[in-house]
Structure 1
């Protein structure tokens, strides 16, 4: 059961601690993007209508909900500098968490709800930043972006684009092969009909006499399935 102190902790975390931790995390991007002369950089805090804005920083009404960093291209374009931009939120958030934790252990900062929750969410962000996975929307975590740079030697966006193009080419080739197979099979059916009933002039009546009732039913079901498949593969 939630006690009054738990409700207080919940609202404090949602309205103050999480926004602070998020801004610290995005500040890592901001600092490195500034050092690397990133173009058109902007730190956006929150969502919704804009409350106020200063050069390169924008604060929105729902400041506690979401924050992100925007920038164009970095001046140095090699793998090391792109790896640094991916590492920056991990380094920034992790450093603040370790410093705050050390200060609490030394008694410099009070061991209260605010600081324990703050340190918890800092490590929470660091943990999920370093896990090398792709998110449901296709975006990589920073850990995955770093992994792709080291292991594959390319940025995650380039890697995903190349894989998507390859998948599209394979799907197109597979569809063309299906079409060719169906055409060949139809040609074989026609030739079989000519050989088994040469007196027929390829009429519908002649075709029907070449197959048993079970064969005709199977052929009708197959043709229907192929028509449905064509609708899905060639919209």
Structure 2
């Protein structure tokens, strides 16, 4: 039964152990995103205003709540690569839990509240990350995305945005995934900036330039793992 003496243990778990577990989880996503050639990798720990940035790490005011990893332009952007990226968080959580259990069993580390909370909440994190479910904000759990990737469901497939030169109208056009003109511009840089904006807002997506008559990928924006 939860009593008054357990309140400090709760705060220890909430403000220290869970953020560490969350960071390990995001590190797993980052590792496989880096392995697959991802660029502009960023890890966000927490939510709210930014407290500080250190390299690819961004820590926000409410550091104990929420976390995500973002990246662009995977060099190996295929189904297996994305499955590994979304599975990476769980793999790192599982590996760190096994290491903690091994260190306790080998008496390298004394068993105590921290080791218990770390293993317990790591398993908790793994379970809910793998549970295939949608979240209220429209995002999906890692397990849901992995399952959709395995099934190759239409909703998980990439949208393709294009920029192309219209010779008759002498203007650059931004086309959406159905090849419908979204906007037209006089300058290529303006069209490219708008196309990047649309592709980022509608992940997963690819951005393609068709000026030369051939479709050349400029950038891709994979789905963001949590």
TM range (shorter): 0.5 to 0.7
Q: Which moved more, 1:98-107 or 1:22-31?
A: 98-107
Q: Which moved more, 1:11-20 or 1:42-51?
A: 42-51
By relative contact order (CA 8 Å, sep 6+), the higher-ranking structure is 2
The aligned residue for residue 31 of structure 1 is 31
CA distance in 2: counterparts of 1:127 and 1:133, whole angstroms? 12
Whole-Å Cα distance in 2 between the matches of residues 139 and 49 of structure 1? 21
Structure having the higher strand fraction is 2
Distance across 2 between alignment mates of 1:149 and 1:61: 33
Aligned-partner Cα distance in 2 for 1:10–1:67: 20
Query: After the TM superposition, which of the residue ranges 72-81 and 19-28 deviates more from structure 2?
Result: 72-81
Normalising by structure 2, we get a TM-score of 0.64
Q: 5+ residue gaps in structure 2? A: 159-226
Structure 1 residues 129, 155: closer, same or farther in 2, change over 3 A? farther
Q: Which residue of structure 1 aligns with residue 96 of structure 2?
A: 96
Task: Judge conservation of contact 2:149–2:156 (CA < 8 Å) in 1.
Answer: no
Per-residue deviation at 1:153? 2.2
1:1-235 equivalences in 2 (<5 Å): 2-150=2-150, 152-154=151-153, 157-158=156-157
Count of aligned pairs: 158
Structure with greater helix percent: 1
The DSSP-based 3-state class of the residue aligned with 2:64 is: strand
Task: Tell me the SS of whatever aligns to 1:40.
Answer: strand
Cα RMSD, aligned residues only: 2.0
Match in the other structure for 2:192: none
Segments of structure 1 that go 5 or more residues without pairing to the other structure are: 160-235
Larger Rg: 1
Secondary structure of 1:86's match? helix
